[in-house]
Structure 1
Amino acid sequence: MVSIESHVKEIERVTAGTSSGRDTAVVQSWRRCVNDYRLDPANARDAYIVPQARLREHQEQAEALIRISRAGLASLFDQVAADDYVLLLSDARGVAVDYLGHPRLDRELRDAGLYLGAEWSESRAGTCAVGACLVSGEAVTIHQDDHFDPTHTPLTCTAAPIFDTQGELAAVLDMSQLRSPAPKSSQRLALHLAKATARRIEMANLVARTGDEWVLRLSRTPDFLDTAPDAALSLDGAGRISGVTGSGLAALERRLGWPIGAPRALIGRPISSLFDIGIDDLPAFMRGQPPGDRLLHANGRPLLFASAMSPADGDRLASSARPARPRSWLDSTATQRQSDARVQAVQQHAAKLAKRRIPILIQGETGTGKEVLARAIHADCNEGGRFVAVNCAAIPEHLIESELFGHVPHAFTGAARKGRTGLIESAQGGTLFLDEIGDMPLSLQTRLLRVLAESEVVPVGGVEPRPVELRLISATHQALETRLAEGRFREDLYYRLNAATLHLPALRERSDLDALLGELLVDIGNRYNAHYQIEPKARRLLHTYRWPGNVRELRNALEVASALCDNGMIRREHLPEAIRQPAGGDPRALLHQLEQCQGNVSALARELGVNRSTVHRWLRRARS
């Protein structure tokens, strides 16, 4: 292991322009650390683990991907646990939202930052596998003194990107060891396994999120076409590409010299622009046909083997989470008859607003379903185009400008060689959803205002504006009026965003909890081929809990309870601890429960499963 002094001197030489035997990815990252992030390699810093409350926020935002990734991570861990590898699933901000490691190494892993909640963004941790992968979008191994910060030089870390169905980088899978053999080549197998698992997760995510659409799986050989394809596309009823597995397609492009460009650029293109087929030809590529006969041609030449899954195919990963089809949220009269009056009003207003391209601001607490509503409006407008969601609070401030507006080639250190299309421009003809708009920096609010006023965008480093026409929906859990008064939000932008405002009520304010419970249990039951019921005591606890996380927290509670219960009956002991506590720890709700028991303390004790003295103690605290 090299000394800290020699490590620092090498970084200084390389960032000054001296040639190096290090991998290009390492050199580029070192230069970003010094030139862009102003990090000092001599200033060793301990690994950073975000506070528990922030970790919960990160996990809530990534909950669907975490759930879909679990099987792939568990399978990989079974293969590598004997070699003391730890697995991290990090979100797009570099925070580890899921983790698998050996319990006997728990203390060491936490100290090293190879732990749940650790932040491995490049701007905080310096050169590391997760951070470099997030910036480049490429799989990478950062081995021992490849790391920028001397604190991390004992580690070897290998990371692979996981792209969402729209071709955007959503997460990173990291395989790390506290100690390993000296040669970097010892991690070649780790790199292969990480990339293969990332492709599996992307495949599961694409299939789980595909509704009434075809899925076309692609492979270079027919041997594992139906079991382990290289990549996949989903297709809408008109034969247009609606989803992709980004890393798999990028790998095929490199291996075959297949000029597809960025995978996200395929969204909306007809399948006939890639291959010599149309939507009506897909049944010939379904299972039942010999794999060797399912050969796709492009411009008359054989290119790839393909396996098609029809919309009704029973292989659709029934156990994976699939979001409810957005349109039914607006136009299901059966649901509206049972729902809260305020929710019905929001649905009716949203359905009318969807017919026109009016900027909409959605307000509501965390977990109330702001993005679900935005997606429903997009689906209901029936204009086509992509739905592009941007969490303004999730993108680091130094990256948000290039993420939103894109950049031209070589616009800054670390910029993509071919430039990058920004999220705003990628929503052309569709819907741009700006979540947590209240957290957008003031400097970017000015640029966004110009986009809205001029219907054009100028990428970072560019001079030529590019026209863009889109529907804008923004959302916030904050009171924008307060941020306006504090000078943290532009008044002119505020009035451009909220031409129409929709307020989603908190779950505790809604009158349709029972209907919602029924809906969610049916959804969970359909996915797991089961039927679930809630015993009266458990139902009363659900009614008295305050639900700070709203519908998202309710769904998570039912997911856990349904997994723990026997014979489909959810009982009090199956609910999360926060809900089992007396009225969720809320004094007003505890007094309400006592009122429901006609003031009988013994009855309330039986209801809560505790003794009378405990209830008396809680009541004294509630009344003080």
Structure 2
Amino acid sequence: MQHAIGAALQPAQRDVIRHSHERSATFGLSETMRPDYAVLSGAELAVKLDESRVLFAHALPVMETLYAQIANTHSMIALTDAGGLILHSLGDDDFLARAEKVALRAGALWNEEHQGTNAIGTTIAERSAVTVHGDQHYLRANHFLTCSSVPILDPLGNLSGVLDVTGDRRGYHQHTMALVKMSAQMIENRLIASAFGDGLRLRFHSRPEFIGTLMEGIAVFDLDGRLLCANRSAQFQLDLELGHLRSQTLDALFGERADVLIARAGDAPCRLELHSGVVVFASVDFQARAVSNVVASTNAVAVRERATSSLAELCTGDAQIDDIVARVRKVIGKNIPILIGGETGAGKEMLARAIHGDSPRRSGPFVAVNCASLPETLIESELFGYTQGAFTGAAKRGAIGKIMQANGGTLFLDEIGDMPLAMQSRLLRVLQERVVEPLGAARAVPVDFTLICASNRKLRERVGEGEFREDLYYRINGLSVTLPPLAARTDLRAVVDRILRHERFAGRIVSVDEDVLALFARHPWPGNFRQLSNVLRTASAMLDDHDTHIRIEHLPHDFLDELGERDQPKDVPAFVSGARLADIEAGAVAAALEANGGNVSATARALGISRTTLYRKLRV
């Protein structure tokens, strides 16, 4: 490493900078290179601002308050999204002019891949507060800066963005990081208040005079006493991370029932004893839309749905899924790889994402790789990455591989049974040694991730056929679960409702007729969830503007043909088949084509069919 890491740094800080420099080199960056000054256009930035509108709305007043504290210090404040894109900045005019020269402004990307070691990008990579001063920056062009960044977490503990203060290195102040941390905590508390307007909220501290200050712990519970969210101060006082807290109850943490505390809402702070034996004082706030049991119960469900566990959302009444979820929960966070089997479209990636969402690594990246879709000539560079000039046609700066992208999070290798044998050997080394060596690199880079694999093939048979390494099979097969096909599930109605609620086809929530559910129950669903989602998407596209109810006449023609060839129900109305259905379908296709300005690709996506199928329907 060519840069000297300052001797004044603490060992942990020195390691953070050193590891960041190593990543910067792996990305193919050179310390003398000209930084990437590309900035999004106004329209593109507007889209990104809309995606982060909740964060922006709650961060802006805090940023203005923070600026009032650091004004005239030749510095600026920046807010970024979770990817390091600057959404907004404000600061002293003289420094802003210098910052513009290195694209330190709204619309610029400041992750490590583009800018090397810098406080914003390194905070994202480390998921912790970071100060980068002067020549600790990897690129020499940024050596005049001193930067202090803090991650902003959403109420569920996921990375939402970064708050940063950057200034001239000559004006460095040690207290800057403390101000940024306090401001980030204010933003996080505002996000919690916004996300959980209803429910039981405890604001607590061992010293009652700290209630109402940034030192107070904030914990939110549903009406059944289950914890929904806790801010950083609460996590510190309870001595548990959010991932562990979310499995706790009010009674277990504070030794009191929800109904008892609800009765104390609005009163003076009450005395409670934590599970650790520490006595705290707590102010109780309770918000509900109504006091009746029926409405309060409905409200509790609504509150839980905003912050329920990802795995819990998969439990919709099927005993097979409930058993899989129960088994998976026992190994989460214990460094045990999970192997998911099941037919194509049975929901393997959905389960993998839910596992990640409930794991201690939920704030880290979830990187999915379909091993069957990557050409054999590209899979090595895609997985392991490469350095500048590693091979003919390589990107100028090299590329970070999927495995390194998953560092600190979860790597999901779908259809791993189709991975070439040569790549299986390299993957086995990564899993054994926890290092990855990009193509053309002089050294290996440490990586740390949770591994989830999936395959629709029987891997034991592949091992017997010599197509899959036996040692790799036993390395990835820590816990093995097999998802049932959709036709074998007993919760079809709940599955349909969940898809319609989450996808919002046609821009609105729709429902299905009982006759449609009866048809669905008779269908073999060879395409599983993918087929069901496409059927619902197409049927929703055929609804009139103000219609929210899918009926048999809205179902795709080929779906009904397939059902008729297999097990046509007797009660399907006669008008569903023949010319009448063809007319309905033709009208829906024409309307979708017009709505998409004649764009065939966009129309096919809207209808959930391929372009080939769309062309065939247009010729009929």
- Normalising by the residue count of structure 2, what TM-score does the alignment of the two structures yield? 0.52
Residue number in structure 1 paired with 2:74: 84
Matched, 1:30 2:21: no
Could you tell me how far apart the structure 2 residues matched to 1:56 and 1:448 are? 38
Structure 2, unmatched stretches of 5+, are 291-300, 307-312, 322-349, 351-356, 369-399, 413-429, 436-443, 461-471, 484-494, 506-525, 549-596, 599-620
After TM superposition, the structure 1 = structure 2 runs for residues 91-490 of structure 1, keeping only pairs within 5 Å, are: 91-103=81-93, 105-177=95-167, 179-181=168-170, 186=173, 188-245=174-231, 247-249=232-234, 252=236, 259-260=239-240, 262-283=241-262, 286-289=265-268, 291=269, 294-299=270-275, 301-312=277-288, 397=402, 398-400=404-406, 403-405=409-411, 411-412=434-435, 447-449=453-455, 463=476, 465-466=478-479
Letter in 2 for 1:404: T
The residue correspondences of 1:531-546 to structure 2 (distance < 5 A) are none
SS at match of 1:98: strand
1:9 to 2, 10, 34: 2
Q: Is the 2:29–2:116 Cα contact (8 Å) retained in structure 1? A: no
After superposition, the Cα gap between the structure-2 partners of 1:420 and 1:9, relative to the gap in structure 1 and judged at 3 Å, is: closer
Deviations 1:88-110 (A, max 9, x none): 11111111122223455543222
8 Å contact from structure 2 (residues 366, 410) kept in 1: no
Show CA shifts across 1:226-263 (max 9, x none).
34344322211211111232x4445x26xxxx541x32
Would the aligned equivalents of 1:249 and 1:263 in 2 still touch at CA under 8 Å? no
Q: Which has the larger radius of gyration?
A: 2
d(CA) in 2 for partners of 1:128 and 1:169? 18
Q: Deviations over 1:571-598 (max 9, x none)?
A: xxxxxxxxxxxxxxx99xxxxxxxxxxx
Number of aligned pairs?
Answer: 395
How many angstroms does 1:201 deviate by?
1.0
Matched, 1:60 2:50: yes
Residues 334-372 of structure 1 show CA distances to partners (whole Å, capped at 9, x for unaligned) of xxxxxxxxxxxxxxxxx9x9666999xxxxxxxxxxxxx
Give the C-alpha shift of residue 28 in structure 1: 2.9
Q: How does 1:515-534 map to 2 (within 5 A)?
A: none
Residue 405 of structure 2 aligns with an amino acid whose one-letter code is: L
Q: How many angstroms does 1:299 deviate by?
A: 4.0
SS at match of 1:42: coil
Work out the CA distance in 1 between the residues paired with 2:138 and 2:45.
25
C-alpha distance after superposition, 1:505-554 (max 9, x if no partner): 99999975999xxxxxxxxxxxxxxxxxxxxxxxxxxxxxxxxxxxxxxx
DSSP 3-state at the match of 1:86: strand
Q: Percent identity?
A: 21
Q: 1:452 to 1:76 in 2, by over 3 A?
A: farther
User: Do 1:34 and 1:40's aligned partners in 2 also have CA atoms closer than 8 Å?
Assistant: no
Shift of residue 157 of structure 1?
Answer: 0.6
Contact 2:228 2:304 in 1 (8 A): no
Structure 2: how far apart are the matches of 1:74 and 1:501?
Answer: 45
Alpha-carbon distance between aligned partners in 2 of 1:62 and 1:133, rounded to the nearest angstrom? 18
CA 1:124 to 1:82, structure 2 compared with 1: closer, same or farther past 3 Å? same
Q: 2:34 aligns with which of 27, 35, 45?
A: 45
CA shift in 2, pair 1:240/1:146, >3 Å: same
CA deviation after TM superposition for structure 1 residue 43, in Å: 2.9
Q: How big is the shift at 1:463? A: 4.9
* Amino acid paired to 2:166: S
Q: Verify the 8 A CA contact 1:26 1:146 in the aligned structure 2.
A: no
CA shift for structure 1 position 202: 0.9
Give 1:142 deviation, angstroms: 1.1
Tell me: CA distance 1:466–1:171, structure 2 relative to 1, closer, same or farther (3 Å).
farther
CA distance in 1, matches of 2:227, 2:303: 19
1:500 to 532, 536, 559: 532
Equivalent position SS for 2:71: helix
Task: Provide the rounded CA distance (Å) in 2 between the counterparts of 1:110 and 1:507.
Answer: 48
Distance in 2 between residues matched to 1:209 and 1:83, nearest whole Å: 35
Distance in 2 between residues matched to 1:33 and 1:453, nearest whole Å: 40
Tell me how far 1:151 sits from its aligned partner: 1.1
Give the Å deviation of 1:140.
1.8
CA 1:223–1:507 in structure 2 vs 1: closer, same or farther (change >3 Å)?
A: farther
Conserved? CA contact 2:152–2:187, under 8 Å: yes
Query: Residues 306-336 of structure 1, C-alpha deviation per residue, up to 9 Å, x if partnerless?
Result: 322212499xxxxxxxxx969999xxxxxxx
Counterpart Cα distance in 2 of 1:199 and 1:268: 23
Alpha-carbon contact 2:133-2:169 (below 8 Å) kept: no
Displacement, 1:122? Answer: 1.8
Q: Whole-Å Cα distance in 2 between the matches of residues 420 and 271 of structure 1?
A: 32
- Alpha-carbon distance between aligned partners in 2 of 1:130 and 1:514, rounded to the nearest angstrom: 47
Aligned CA-pair RMSD: 5.2
Residue matched to 1:363: none
For structure 1, the 5+ residue unaligned runs are: 1-7, 315-323, 330-350, 360-377, 379-384, 425-446, 478-493, 516-585, 588-624
